[in-house]
Amino acid sequence: MAPVTERTPPIQTKFPTMGTTIFTVMSALATEKGAVNLGQGFPDFECDPKLVDAVTEAMKKGLNQYPPMTGIAPLREAVASKVEALYGRKYDSASEITITAGATQAIITAVLAIVKPGDEVIVLEPCYDSYVPNIELAGGTVVRVPLTPGTFRPDFVKIAAALSPKTRAIMINSPHNPSGTVWTRAEMLQLQDLLAPTDVFVISDEVYEHMVFDGQLHQSAARFPGLAARSLIVSSFGKTYHVTGWKVGYVAAPAVLSAEFRKVHQFNVFTVNTPMQFGLASYMASPEPYLQLPAFYQRKRDLFREGLARTRFQLLPSEGTYFQCVEISKVSALKEDEFCKWLTSEIGVAAIPLSAFYGNGFDQRVVRFCFAKKDETLKAALERLAKL
Ligand SMILES: Cc1ncc(COP(=O)(O)O)c(C=O)c1O
């Protein structure tokens, strides 16, 4: 018998330029240096114990086997009721709401369901880091359109110029990570008008839908019939209920779009863990937790901004999300990513460079802090930042 040789065949990578994400790099550096980690976006406080109890109860009741492919009916119904109550559009819970393994799986599934090789997909930069690789995996061509530097508002002249007969979809995200910008009704109406004569789909990433401040309203695509009819709307229970590690989200889309979405969903994840779904369904019976979320995070935002106002950082508006961006020019001449490494190592606070959200690493001297943290964490960070 010939000796066995261990040989892993060479692989042609689908992502030749992909490295470790800045989020991983900064979190590792934060741990190494004992820095306060305001980099990666997740809460450092517990969720409501009632939610944990509801999930525990579901497990104890033996609700531990495969749920239906589209998600359990009570959770789909709770989502449909919430969307109707808040945004005035009635989605059929059976055919138009699908429970997903977080927003990340929802987004890639939506992309794979509608984008074919050769299709163009518009992304508005800076954007969440999964969008571009998702489009590439589907064989689509990424068309990058910058949000206006400085304000991060959508530039409809540039978006209009990017539309072509090959455009299959546009990905939008409000409230926006990383800038904290919230699209206005007028901006959503402009998008609706712009797309009206086209067959372009919208993937509307609304994971921060319940974090909008100063009395502003979240302008869900669901509020605009012309957009809703062409949109897959994505949200995340992880963000809303302080359980980012549970990875449960949903997609709301017209029945024909949901049907296509589900064809991919059933073969990339099939379904989402059962007890979490039952726990979330019973917890959603009360709207209070998500109705109180704007006030909860607005207070944290204000606490954090008050402290930052005493530094030489220039504060950008934070209209929604749990992110606060600052301009660093008066504090440092370093590039954004070098500055974040310096800030973590020397000052002891981790942040994320905005250049990480651009394909070409565009550096506008702006970094992002996450304020989804205990007050004492924010105060500890502010004490360190006070030197700047
Ligand atoms: C804009 C945006 N979309 C999607 C996600 C992913 O959400 P999930 O954790 O539910 O997959 C995030 C998480 O940070 C995000 O910021």
Q: What is the pLDDT of residue 339?
A: 97
On whether the CB atoms of residues 319 and 216 are closer than 8 A, the answer is: yes
Q: What is the pLDDT of residue 300?
A: 98
User: Which regions of the chain are under pLDDT 70?
Assistant: none
Q: Please give the number of the atom of ligand 1 that sits closest to the Cα of 128.
A: 1
On whether the CB atoms of residues 151 and 159 are closer than 8 A, the answer is: no
Q: Please give the number of the atom of ligand 1 that sits closest to the Cα of 244.
A: 9
Here the tokens at position 349 are: 């606070």
Q: Please give the number of the atom of ligand 1 that sits closest to the Cα of 102.
A: 10
Q: What is the pLDDT of residue 170?
A: 99
The set of residues, in sequence order, having a beta carbon less than 8 Å from that of 37 and lying 6+ positions away, is 26, 27, 30, 31, 44, 350
Q: What is the pLDDT of residue 101?
A: 98
pLDDT per residue over 16-50, tens digit each? 888 888 888 899 999 999 999 999 899 999 999 99
Is the beta carbon of 320 within 6 A of some atom in ligand 1? no
Global pTM value: 0.97
Q: What is the pLDDT of residue 2?
A: 86
CA of 104 to the centre of ligand 1 (A): 6
Q: What is the pLDDT of residue 229?
A: 98
- Whole-angstrom CA distances from 272 to 42, 130, 247, 277, 381 are 21, 20, 9, 8, 36
- Whole-angstrom CA distances from 110 to 53, 114, 138, 205, 262 are 32, 6, 10, 11, 9
Q: Please give the number of the atom of ligand 1 that sits closest to the Cα of 105.
A: 11
On whether the CB atoms of residues 348 and 34 are closer than 8 A, the answer is: yes
Of 107, 177, 242, which is best to mutate to test ligand 1, by the most ligand atoms within 8 angstroms of its C-beta?
Answer: 177
Q: What is the pLDDT of residue 157?
A: 98
The Cα–Cα gap between 123 and 127 comes to 7
Is the beta carbon of 179 within 6 A of some atom in ligand 1? no
Of 210, 239, 250, 280, which is best to mutate to test ligand 1, by the most ligand atoms within 8 angstroms of its C-beta?
Answer: 239
